[in-house]
Amino acid sequence: MSPTPYSVIVHPLDSHYKGACAYEQGATGSKNAIIFIGGLGDGPHTVPFVRPLATHLEATGTGYSIFEIRMRSSFTGYGYSSLKDDAEDIAALVRYLRDIGKEKVVLLGHSTGSQDCMEYAKRTDDPVDGFILQGPVSDRQAVEGLLEPEELQESIELAAEMIAEDRGEEMMTPEQVYHIYKPVTAYRWHSLVAKGGDDDYFSSDLDEDVVAEFWGRFNKPALVLYSGEEEHAPASLDKETLVESWKKAGPKVHPSSGIVPGASHAIAEPDAQSRFNEAVAEFLKDV
Domain extent listing, the chain: 9-138+203-284, 139-200
Return the number of other C-beta atoms located less than 10 Å from residue 127's C-beta.
14
HSE, CB side, 13 Å, CA atoms: give it for residue 191: 21
Check residue 165 and give its pLDDT.
98
Nearest to 223 by CA among 157, 147, 146, 284: 284
- Paired with 42 in beta bridges are none
Q: What is the mean pLDDT of the chain?
A: 97
Longest dimension (CA), the chain: 55
56's enclosing H/E stretch is helix 50-59
User: Which residues touch 174 (CB under 8 Å, ≥6 apart)?
Assistant: 182
State percent of the chain over pLDDT 70.
99
The answer to whether the CB of 135 falls within 8 A of the CB of 265 is yes
pLDDT in tens, 185-199: 999 999 999 999 999
The pLDDT value recorded for residue 176 is 97
Of 3, 11, 191, which Cα lies nearest the Cα of 102?
A: 11
- Distance in angstroms (rounded) separating the CA atoms of residues 154 and 173: 14
Q: What is residue 163's predicted lDDT score, i.e. its pLDDT?
A: 98
Side-chain half-sphere of 112: how many Cα atoms within 13 Å? 27
- DSSP letters spanning 191-209: HHHSTT-TT-SS-TT--HH
Beta-bridge partner residues of 205: none
pLDDT digits (tens, 9 = 90+) for 223-261: 999 999 999 999 999 999 999 999 999 999 999 999 999
Distance CA 200, CA 189 (A): 11
Please tell me the distance from the alpha carbon of residue 152 to that of residue 171, in angstroms, as a whole number.
17
Given a cut of 90, whether residue 3 has pLDDT beyond it is: no
Whether pTM exceeds 0.85: yes
The pLDDT value given to residue 1: 60
Task: Please return the burial class of 4, using the count of CB atoms within 10 Å of its CB with bins 0-12, 13-18 and 19+.
Answer: exposed
Residue 2 pLDDT exceeds 80 = no
- The third-level CATH classification (topology) of the domain covering 9-138+203-284 is Rossmann fold (3.40.50)
Closest by Cα among 112, 49, 34 to 79? 112
